[in-house]
C-alpha cells in the first residue's frame, strides 16, 4: 500500500477519528507528552500525528518559545488538528502533510537537531519500522529523547476479531475477513512492541538509554455506537472500502451481534508509553 493510499484511508476516518479522540487517542497522546518531560523552548518532531493527540499537548509543553512539527500523510486529520490548535490559540505548531520516511527538517530547526521525536500509535505503520525510526533518531540532537505509544498485548483483540469475522461473512469467498496490506504490516510490527519488555528492548536496541515504559490501563464500555465508531475511526476500516453502503450496514449488524454473542462488554485500549534518551 502506497503512502497516498494510507493517506486516503486515514482521511476517510476523520469524523469518527475526532469523535473517539477523548477516549482512544487523547489520553495516550497526553501521557506521551508528559512522559517526555518537555521543557519550554524545545523543538519537537511528532510523526504520524493525526489530529495532534500527542502533538498538541507537546506544543503546550514547549510553550511559545518552542515549536512542534506535526507530520502525517492524512491531510484531513491534520486539518482537524489545525482547528483544535487555532481554537486554543496555539501558534507554535505546524501541521504538515508529509511522509515520516522522507521528512527533512526545515532550516528553522536548530543545527544540532530536534530535542524530541514522538509518535503515538504511529511507528508500526512505517513500512520498515526499525530503519525508519533510526532515520528519525538521526534528526535528534545528542541527548535528545524519543517517545512512542503502542498497543498493549490484547488491546482491541475481541473487537477486531469480531470485526474481521463479520467482514468475512460478506466476502465473496467467505472465510475470515482480511486486513488490508498496510493493516497486516502494521499488525506484525505492532506485535513486536506489545509488552513492556519488548518495547524497552526495542528502544534499547535503537541505542536508547534511561528507557522508561509505562503501562496505561484504559477499559472503555463497549456500547454499540462506540465499537462501530472505533472501526470507522481507525485503520480497521480499511476492508470496508470494497463494500457498498448496504453491505457495510449488514457488516455492522453482524459485528455488533458477534460482540453481544461473545459477551464483549469492554474494549481494552491498554497502551504502552515508552521513552528513551539518545546520546
Ligand X SMILES: C[S@@+](CC[C@H](N)C(=O)[O-])C[C@H]1O[C@@H](n2cnc3c(N)ncnc32)[C@H](O)[C@@H]1O
**For binding to ligand X (CB under 6 A), which residues are involved?**
3, 6-7, 10, 25, 29, 47-50, 53-54, 71-74, 77, 99-101, 120-122, 125-126
At closest approach, how far in Å is the CB of 25 from ligand X? Answer: 3
Give residues with Cβ within 8 angstroms of 131, minimum separation 6: none
Tell me whether residue 51 or residue 158 sits nearer to ligand X (CB atom).
Answer: 51
Tell me whether residue 258 or residue 267 sits nearer to ligand X (CB atom).
Answer: 267
Tell me whether residue 76 or residue 254 sits nearer to ligand X (CB atom).
Answer: 76
Contact status, residue 166 vs residue 254, Cβ threshold 8 Å: yes
Question: C-alpha cell of 20?
Answer: 473517539
At closest approach, how far in Å is the CB of 47 from ligand X? Answer: 6
Distance (Å, whole) CA 194 – CA 258:
26
Distance of CA 269 to the CA centre of its chain: 12
At closest approach, how far in Å is the CB of 132 from ligand X? Answer: 7
Distance (Å, whole) CA 203 – CA 133:
10
Tell me whether residue 120 or residue 227 sits nearer to ligand X (CB atom).
Answer: 120
- Beta-carbon count within 10 A of 65 CB: 10
At closest approach, how far in Å is the CB of 263 from ligand X? Answer: 27
At closest approach, how far in Å is the CB of 178 from ligand X? Answer: 19
Give the residue at shortest CB distance from ligand X.
50
The label of the residue with cell 503501562 reads 215
Tell me whether residue 101 or residue 198 sits nearer to ligand X (CB atom).
Answer: 101
Give residues with Cβ within 8 angstroms of 273, minimum separation 6: 28, 31, 32, 35, 147, 148, 149, 213, 214, 216
Amino acid at each position: 500500500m502506497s503512502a497516498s493510499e494510507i493517506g486516503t484511508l486515514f482521511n476517510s476516518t476523520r469524523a469518527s477519528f475526532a469523535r473517539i479522540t477523548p477516549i482512544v487517542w487523547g489520553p495516550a497522546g497526553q501521557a506521551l507528552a508528559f512522559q517526555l518531560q518537555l521543557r519550554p523552548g524545545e523543538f519537537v518532531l511528532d510523526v504520524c500525528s493525526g489530529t495532534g493527540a500527542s502533538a498538541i499537548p507537546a506544543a503546550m509543553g514547549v510553550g511559545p518559545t518552542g515549536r512542534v512539527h506535526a507530520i502525517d500523510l492524512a491531510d484531513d486529520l491534520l486539518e482537524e488538528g489545525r482547528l483544535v490548535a487555532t481554537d486554543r490559540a496555539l501558534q507554535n505548531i505546524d501541521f504538515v502533510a508529509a511522509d515520516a520516511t522522507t521528512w527533512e527538517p526545515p532550516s528553522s530547526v536548530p543545527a544540532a537537531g530536534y530535542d524530541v521525536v514522538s509518535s503515538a500509535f504511529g511507528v508500526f505503520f512505517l513500512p520498515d519500522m526499525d530503519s525508519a525510526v533510526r532515520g528519525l533518531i538521526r534528526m535528534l540532537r545528542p541527548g535528545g529523547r524519543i517517545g512512542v505509544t503502542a498497543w498493549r498485548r490484547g488491546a482491541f483483540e475481541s473487537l477486531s476479531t469480531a470485526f474481521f469475522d463479520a467482514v468475512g461473512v460478506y466476502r465473496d469467498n467467505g472465510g475470515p475477513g482480511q486486513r488490508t496490506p498496510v493493516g497486516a504490516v502494521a499488525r506484525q510490527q505492532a506485535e513486536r512492541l506489545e509488552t513492556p519488555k519488548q518495547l524497552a528492548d526495542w528502544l534499547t536496541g535503537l541505542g536508547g538509554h534511561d528507557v522508561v515504559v509505562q503501562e496505561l490501563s484504559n477499559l472503555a464500555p463497549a456500547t454499540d455506537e462506540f465499537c462501530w465508531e472505533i472501526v470507522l475511526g481507525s485503520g480497521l476500516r480499511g476492508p470496508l472500502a470494497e463494500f457498498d453502503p448496504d453491505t457495510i450496514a449488514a457488516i455492522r449488524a453482524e459485528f455488533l451481534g458477534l460482540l453481544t454473542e461473545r459477551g464483549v462488554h469492554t474494549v481494552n485500549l491498554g497502551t504502552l508509553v515508552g521513552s528513551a534518551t539518545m546520546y
